[in-house]
Structure 1
């Protein structure tokens, strides 16, 4: 049934009165009443449903490792970590600083003692004969220094008590000049000492062996030394080779004859110490002979050279 055939509703008629039947109810004749068709209205547009949010992809664990575990709670510190935490940052008190200073001083003292002990360990391994010789040399040097001290004191006393101090000063100056001349090799000298003769038939004696002999004699208190016809002084040098020894640039032939002025009781033992000069020369099959004498004359002289630049500080 179209919309034109639909009866119009009288004005003022209420729903439910005669003339209007509700839709779907039968009329008086028993026929079902026609359902009125709704007027064409605009249907509501369907609302767009929100797109579902993409689910987060599960994070892949690094190769060789299983799936990540949830972070664990605070781990317990190890003993070392607790110790470091207690020591740093430091909390020092005055008592702790005092103890630290005392420990440093104690450690320094122990280090010095250990070093001193190690330095003196060389004497612990020495033989009894070597220790006796070293002790005798020290006693002899001490005695010489004491004698020199007494001489200087007596000279000072004479200068102070002499009525003619100028004459006494000139006398002592002349004596000092003689002593310095002996040491410098500019004047002849005589006195007790020894004669050392070294025969080198095979030409195996090196210049440094003769130099070692000079050093041993000087350490034993030698005051004047002459080798053959050459005076040995502070600036004497040895050169050449085995069988061709040169002293101060001059060729010296063997046998080498040492004339040494000094105390014979000190000079001879210094050459005969175990492993010393005599044994070293004998290993090279050189002949060694030592003679003591109460009068040794050292007459080889060296020219006195005036220094070019050095002057006495008293001028």
Structure 2
């Protein structure tokens, strides 16, 4: 009897997971059967417990326990792995305007750095050149530098020559102008001023003739007179005097008193006039009065027109 009840209980335990609610009815029936049979109920109960233990060891759910699918549904979503949580945190992305701006700036900065690094790493055309080629190029550069240095020195020398020639030309021009003024003074074409003598010859009796005035002019020239003017007539090397009582200088009539304006060194001119038997004594013998005075500024402003020579030409 006990073996039959155990087999029936075991069969009921195996059919339990498939039937569900019907198991409860069977268990109730078994309970009632146990109650009707007395001590055999306890045996049946123990046999049932042994069957449940057997089901538990086989990994099958106990009576009344829900299936695995239902347990997952009651506990919620399955636990996520670390990678799944990371992906869930960053995707879908939640980008703000500030983040987008920073991302664009970083992209541009990275692009610029990449371009610069690339251009720096590429180097020049000599990066892959051989050592012999580099030495040859260096020698050529040295030769070119030497040629340029020589050209520089040559040009600097030309510059100095031009500056010197320019200075010389300027100095020559100044000397030419000064010489022209000096010749103009001697030729009577330009005015002159400087230290000299005032000479006045008074001839109340009209005894002074042209040759006496000419001797006076010659004596002054011999003493170093540079410019002479007589009664507003410029006296030069080509001047001539004529007449006895009506004296003319270069065709211009002059009358007493004869006023001489003479430029030269006064201390040389005055003694030349006053030497014994000189001009002053000769004029005084003719009853003429001679007055001589020194001055630091004598002006000779009477001019002569320039006369072009008919035959003489410059040899330079």
Shorter-normalised TM range: 0.3 to 0.5
Q: Which has more radius of gyration?
A: 2
Task: State TM-score, norm by structure 2.
Answer: 0.47
- Structure whose residues are more often helix by fraction: 2
